[in-house]
Amino acid sequence: MHLGLPSLVSSDTDLATIRTILSDYAPSNEFAAQVRVQLAVASFANVLSNNSNDEIDSSLVRMLDSELDTLKTTCADGWTDMAELSVLVAKLHFYALVITRVRPGATSRDILLKLGLGVSLRIAHLANARLHDNPIESHNLTLQQRQRTHPKNYFRGLAFATVFLLRYFSLNSSVHADEQQLAANHVMMAHHIFQTCATSPQDEFGRAAVLFETLGRQAPSSADGTKLRLTDRMGVSILLDAVSTAAEVRGRPVEIVEYETPRATSIYPKQESYIVNGELPISGVPEPWHAELTLSNNDLWNDTVWDIFNYQAGFPQAPLHPSEMHAQQ
């Protein structure tokens, strides 16, 4: 899900077997809750991949919403804020999938955008609360060290929510000013979290913080005015588009293209790797990344595509956002 690729376990038999194991062998409640989230994702992703009808997509997303919401009751003994975060990120990925496929102006799309706003704000809020949490036993770890012990998918989900807020609300001139400001405030929360976790501007946390800064300094415009480069990798399509946009802002245009464009509107590509073609400067001097890079299917954050930012001297000190981001939370 976090890479926009199909689940390796997706057949009805496989899913039924996993449910049986959860019932019969009773692993830890918290682990079971996380597994059930992924079971729901795998089940509905397979169905959505074969549908392109707006009404069917919206109905399936509502069904997924309902199933994920019942997990809080079903897995009450193992329910934690991390389980809630997993549910929220899963919802946002499916919202983004339908948003990128449905035509702008459609009522179902507008509803999903509002739902996505609420989910993204909640994700940023939960992450910010964990940043300021003071555990009784810190095991002599600093705040930065404690934050870096979180699973990588925790930060992938937070980065995705942040880019969603930037694209569809903070930098979207078509939304209400109050929504713009609310989204901008939560983008700053997320930026602070990644900057806190960074040990250098060029580690995965530092590059994410730079990405948010680069995008956040752009003037608001209509989110529907620019077409996503990819639309078949769930919410990852939005994240990869943001990386390319930030590169273009810095004068380093890149183009994400598929080996083969699927004829259907499947959420999964026929080929599992994409090519990033970096255009060389007029001088002909190569940039510090290869002209063709294959996006890793295993580790998005450590993918060399992040190297396009190549900041050498600390984080930029320019304002994070135009004037409307300067207001206090």
DSSP per residue, 48-103: HTT---HHHHHHHHHHHHHHHHHHHHHTGGG--HHHHHHHHHHHHHHHHHHHHHSP
Q: Is residue 1 part of a domain?
A: no
Q: With residue 278 as reference, give the H or E element that holds it.
A: strand 274-278
Q: Is 263 left (phi over 0), alpha (psi -120 to 50) or beta?
A: alpha
Measure Cα distances from 49 to 5, 42, 45, 234, 269 in Å: 11, 11, 6, 10, 10
Asked whether 18 and 9 are in contact (CB, 8 A), the reply is: yes
The count of C-alpha atoms lying within 13 angstroms of the C-alpha of 230, restricted to the half-sphere facing its C-beta, is: 32
Measure Cα distances from 80 to 40, 53, 74, 209, 321 in Å: 18, 35, 13, 27, 33
Q: Tell me which DSSP letter residue 172 carries.
A: B
Q: Cα–Cα distance between 116 and 99 in angstroms, integer?
A: 10
Number of structural domains found in the chain = 1
Where is average pLDDT lowest: 51-65, 160-174, 189-203, 277-291? Answer: 277-291
- Whether 149 shows a pLDDT value over 90: the answer reads no
Q: How many Å is the maximal CA-CA distance in the chain?
A: 65
Q: Is residue 5 part of a domain?
A: no
Residues making up the chain, counted from first to last:
329
3-state secondary structure of 131: helix
Output 305 or 56, whichever has higher pLDDT.
56
**pLDDT tens sequence across 207-247:** 999 999 999 998 888 887 777 777 667 788 888 888 888 88
Q: Is residue 6 part of a domain?
A: no
φ, ψ for residue 278 (rounded to 5)? -85, 130
Q: Is residue 4 part of a domain?
A: no
Percent pLDDT > 90 in the chain is 33
| Structural domain boundaries enclosing 137 | 12-325
Average pLDDT along the chain: 77
Q: Is residue 69 part of a domain?
A: yes
**pLDDT tens sequence across 99-123:** 888 888 888 899 999 999 999 999 9
Q: Is residue 2 part of a domain?
A: no
Q: What share of the chain is helix, strand, coil (3-state, %, to 5)?
A: 55, 5, 40
Q: Is residue 148 part of a domain?
A: yes
Q: Is residue 211 part of a domain?
A: yes
